């Protein structure tokens, strides 16, 4: 992240301040004002950067557009799939529904941000829109990894403590946990909109706000959730291997008690979330460490060569869950086929009903006009 200037920002500079302050979620450009681009080019040339990403901004935007579009489509299908009667009462369906909404929100905001950088808006952006965009991005960025932690913890209890499953892994408790995560994420976010001052269409960010959000985003959206996901998955996989060894020691046949069909796909969702979150967390930690060791060193410029790749990997985390589920389980493939067929049938029935209503109303109006004509003719006679 480049060093943020905490001077008063004009109305159309609010978004620029926010983009610079939240470079943790936007590892590609940083501040894209004319001076910012010139400073970035100078820093990059002084460090011997091997490529100029400005030449490929349209290609990069196209890739981001593809990732976001496929991710949002997958999240919508995941939400529909989790509404099936076989899954709706299960606890993990709640986590996946919350993830569908949170991930889609974050993907949309990132796409709007990247689009504004490639095709900049020429008119002034109101202060409240910039603050709202920042708030939603940080909220979703903190909430999504912790929802994966909740999902992983749910699987850990089901596998390692199966007797507690009916007590702890219920739909109501999952809703309570997800709601609590949402509230905590909002509390962590609250200092920014509360402390932000707006005077005469100028936005005054308080001193120290960038350091606060560096700490919050690095700790609560990367380091801690990644640590929990890693530890829980190690315990889950270890318990699965122990269970297989235990069952194999008491049976001579290859047939054994089947595992829960949801175990492997959900563990894969958790593991791949860890894989896509770790590179960004490591890069951000290295960047902040370099900047703290040498105040005159631009850690953001040092990571220019890899930041674009890390950003795309980071975006994949918020659009991959549905595709992991259907690729790893035939059960989920059958469910989504049935759900889509059911939705298509309902849509056709509603369309037929609306057409029949229109037809009946037209017939009624036609018969009414015909009878009125007959009455007029009889009066004339």
The answer, yes or no, to whether residue 152 has pLDDT greater than 50, is yes
* Length of the chain (residues): 381
Long-range interactions of 365-371: CB distance < 8 A, separation 24+: none
Mean pLDDT estimate for the chain: 75
The answer, yes or no, to whether residue 13 has pLDDT greater than 90, is no
Tell me how far apart the alpha carbons of residues 101 and 103 are, in angstroms, rounded to a whole number.
Answer: 6
Model confidence over 293-304: pLDDT tens digits?
665 555 555 555
State whether residue 123 is helix, strand or coil.
Answer: coil
Q: Is residue 288 part of a domain?
A: yes
Do 324 and 272 meet the contact criterion of CB atoms below 8 Å apart?
yes
Model confidence over 57-101: pLDDT tens digits?
788 888 999 999 999 999 999 999 998 888 989 999 999 999 999
Tell me how far apart the alpha carbons of residues 279 and 274 are, in angstroms, rounded to a whole number.
Answer: 9
DSSP symbol at 222? I
pLDDT of residue 291: 67
pLDDT > 90: what percent of the chain?
33
The answer, yes or no, to whether residue 16 has pLDDT greater than 60, is no
Do 131 and 196 meet the contact criterion of CB atoms below 8 Å apart?
yes
Q: Is residue 362 part of a domain?
A: no
H or E element at residue 219: none
Highest mean pLDDT among 74-78, 187-191, 283-287, 350-354: 74-78
H or E element at residue 165: helix 165-168
Do 232 and 151 meet the contact criterion of CB atoms below 8 Å apart?
no
**Average pLDDT of 148-176?**
92
pLDDT of residue 192: 72
Q: Is residue 295 part of a domain?
A: yes
What band does 230 get if pLDDT is binned at 50, 70 and 90? very high
pLDDT of residue 307: 76
DSSP 280-332: HHHHHHHHHHHHHH-TT--HHHHTHHHHHHHHHHHHHTTT-HHHHHHHH-HHH
Domain that holds residue 202: 9-46+54-250+259-328
Q: Is residue 376 part of a domain?
A: no
| Phi and psi at residue 261, to the nearest 5° | -65, -20
Q: What is the pTM of this model?
A: 0.77
Q: Is residue 40 part of a domain?
A: yes
**Average pLDDT of 305-323?**
87
Highest mean pLDDT among 39-48, 101-110, 129-138: 101-110
Both tokens of 55, joined, read 């030449």
Q: Is residue 333 part of a domain?
A: no
What band does 190 get if pLDDT is binned at 50, 70 and 90? confident
Question: What's the gap between Cα 309 and its chain centre?
Answer: 18
* Bridge partners (DSSP) listed for residue 170: none
Q: β-strands 197-199, 9-10: how paired?
A: unpaired
Give the number of domains in the chain. 1
For position 115, which CATH number holds?
1.20.1070.10
Tell me the CA distances in angstroms from 204 to 4, 9, 35, 52, one per residue in order: 13, 6, 20, 33
Q: Is residue 377 part of a domain?
A: no
What band does 322 get if pLDDT is binned at 50, 70 and 90? very high
pLDDT of residue 245: 81
Say which residues have a Cβ less than 8 Å from residue 214's Cβ, sequence separation at least 6: 1, 24, 288
The answer, yes or no, to whether residue 109 has pLDDT greater than 70, is yes
Q: How many helices and strands, by DSSP H and E, does the chain display? A: 15, 3
H or E element at residue 180: helix 171-189
Do 200 and 8 meet the contact criterion of CB atoms below 8 Å apart?
no
- Residue of 190 and 209 predicted with greater confidence: 190
Q: Is residue 345 part of a domain?
A: no
Tell me how far apart the alpha carbons of residues 378 and 83 are, in angstroms, rounded to a whole number.
Answer: 61
**Average pLDDT of 98-115?**
93
pLDDT of residue 261: 67
């Amino acid at each position: 992240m480049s060093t943020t200037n905490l001077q008063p920002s004009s109305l159309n500079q609010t978004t620029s301040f926010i983009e610079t302050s939240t470079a943790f979620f936007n590892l590609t450009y940083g501040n894209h004002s004319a001076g910012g681009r010139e400073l970035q080019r100078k820093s990059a040339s002084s460090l011997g950067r091997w490529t100029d990403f400005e030449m490929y901004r349209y290609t990069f935007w196209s890739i981001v557009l593809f990732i976001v579009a496929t991710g949002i489509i997958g999240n919508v299908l995941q939400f529909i799939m989790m509404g099936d009667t076989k899954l709706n009462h299960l606890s993990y369906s709640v986590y996946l529904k919350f993830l569908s909404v949170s991930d889609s929100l974050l993907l949309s905001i990132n796409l709007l941000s990247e689009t504004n950088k490639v095709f900049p808006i020429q008119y002034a952006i109101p202060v409240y829109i910039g603050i709202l965009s920042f708030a939603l991005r940080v909220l979703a960025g903190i909430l999504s990894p912790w929802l994966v932690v909740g999902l992983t913890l749910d699987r850990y209890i089901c596998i390692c403590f199966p007797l507690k499953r009916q007590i702890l892994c219920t739909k109501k408790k999952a809703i309570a946990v997800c709601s609590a995560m949402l509230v905590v994420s909002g509390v962590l976010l609250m200092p920014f909109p509360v402390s932000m001052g707006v005077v005469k269409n100028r936005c005054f960010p308080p001193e120290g706000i960038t350091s606060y959000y560096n700490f919050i985003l690095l700790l609560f959206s990367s380091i801690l959730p990644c640590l929990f996901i890693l530890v829980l998955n190690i315990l889950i996989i270890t318990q699965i291997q122990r269970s297989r060894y235990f069952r194999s020691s008491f049976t001579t046949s290859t047939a054994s008690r089947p595992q829960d069909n949801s175990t492997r796909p959900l563990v894969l969702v958790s593991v791949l979330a860890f894989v896509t979150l770790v590179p960004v967390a490591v890069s951000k930690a290295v960047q902040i460490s370099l900047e703290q060791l040498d105040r005159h060193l631009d850690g953001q410029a040092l990571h220019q060569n890899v930041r674009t790749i890390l950003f795309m990997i980071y975006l994949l985390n918020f659009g991959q869950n549905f595709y992991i589920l259907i690729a790893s389980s035939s059960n989920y493939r059958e469910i989504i086929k049935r759900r889509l067929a059911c939705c298509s049938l309902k849509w056709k029935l509603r369309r037929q009903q609306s057409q029949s209503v229109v037809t009946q109303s037209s017939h009624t109006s036609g018969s009414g006009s015909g009878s009125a004509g007959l009455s007029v003719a009889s009066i004339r006679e």
